[in-house]
């Protein structure tokens, strides 16, 4: 018989929920697990195909501070889906975090963030932008105390960061790699090389 959920109960409820789950495995054995459940999210990698740059952000990440003693990661704009389509979440977060009003988004996939412990599914997007798309300074939503630093990085530098294993955020690594696979000419250090 296939594995099934026998029951769940909320162990903790706050910004996220921790669920206690009782499972029956394929062999009939029962086991208990804890699962983090806080909803789904969307992330976007804004890139300028003419200037060959991308916009990333740095913000406080308490788990990084706890485990490594530093407070931030370089990552793509991302956020929780709130009663809207995932693409609308990606646009909202890009505007709040980077000040960019993104128009066309390319859906790059829907992935499990950490399937061993979390119910979160993450919709990934690529989106081109130009200087005309900047309508604000970014930095995060008022009242959320995000203190986001916006960073524009040449795509060739992002390629070097991938090669040096310096991109530590999984969603960012995936999106930069997907952009590199689909548009490798944008990562060429010599723009005239793409013809």
For 68-82, give the DSSP string.
HS--EEEE--EEE--
Q: pLDDT category, 178, cuts 50, 70, 90?
A: very high
pLDDT 10s digits, 86-119:
999 999 999 999 999 999 999 999 999 999 999 9
* pLDDT confidence band for 162 (50 / 70 / 90): very high
CA distances from 70 to 73, 77, 136, 164 (A): 9, 19, 28, 20
**What SS3 class is residue 172?**
helix
Residues whose CB is less than 8 angstroms from the CB of residue 59 and which lie 6 or more positions away in sequence, other chains included: 72, 75, 97, 140, 146, 147, 148, 149
Q: What is the pLDDT of residues 116-150, one digit of tens each?
A: 999 999 999 999 999 899 887 766 666 665 678 89
Q: Is the pLDDT of residue 186 over 90?
A: yes
* Band of pLDDT at residue 74, cut at 50, 70 and 90: very high
As given in the structure block, the two tokens for residue 10 are 């909320």
Question: What pLDDT was estimated at residue 136?
Answer: 74
Which phi and psi angles does 179 have, rounded to 5°?
Answer: -65, -40
Parallel, antiparallel or unpaired: strands 30-37 and 17-24? antiparallel
Strand stretches in 69-146, DSSP E: 72-75, 78-80, 106-112, 121-128
Q: What pLDDT sits at residue 190?
A: 67
Average pLDDT, stretch 154-170?
Answer: 95
Tokens (6 digits) for 162: 């991938």
Burial class (CB within 10 angstroms; exposed 0-12, middle 13-18, buried 19+) of 8: middle
- Whether this prediction's pTM lies above 0.85 is answered by yes
């Amino acid at each position: 018989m296939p594995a099934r959920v026998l029951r769940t109960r909320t162990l903790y409820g706050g910004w996220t929920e921790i669920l206690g789950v009782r499972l029956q495995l394929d062999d009939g054995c029962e086991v208990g697990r804890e699962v983090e459940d806080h909803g789904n999210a969307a992330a976007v990698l804004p890139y300028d195909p003419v200037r060959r740059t991308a916009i990333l952000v740095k913000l406080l990440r308490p788990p990084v501070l706890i485990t490594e003693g530093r407070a931030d990661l370089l990552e793509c704009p991302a956020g929780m889906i709130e009663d809207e389509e995932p693409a609308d979440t990606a646009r909202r977060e890009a505007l709040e975090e980077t000040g960019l009003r993104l128009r066309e988004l390319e859906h790059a996939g829907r992935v499990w963030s950490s399937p061993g412990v979390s119910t979160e599914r993450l919709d990934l997007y690529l989106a081109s932008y130009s200087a005309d798309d900047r309508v604000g300074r970014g930095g995060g939503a008022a009242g959320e105390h995000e203190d986001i630093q916006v960073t524009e990085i040449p795509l060739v530098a992002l390629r070097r960061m991938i090669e040096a294993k310096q991109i530590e955020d999984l969603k960012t690594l995936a999106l930069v790699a997907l952009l590199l696979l689909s548009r490798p000419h944008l990562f060429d250090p010599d723009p005239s090389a793409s013809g």
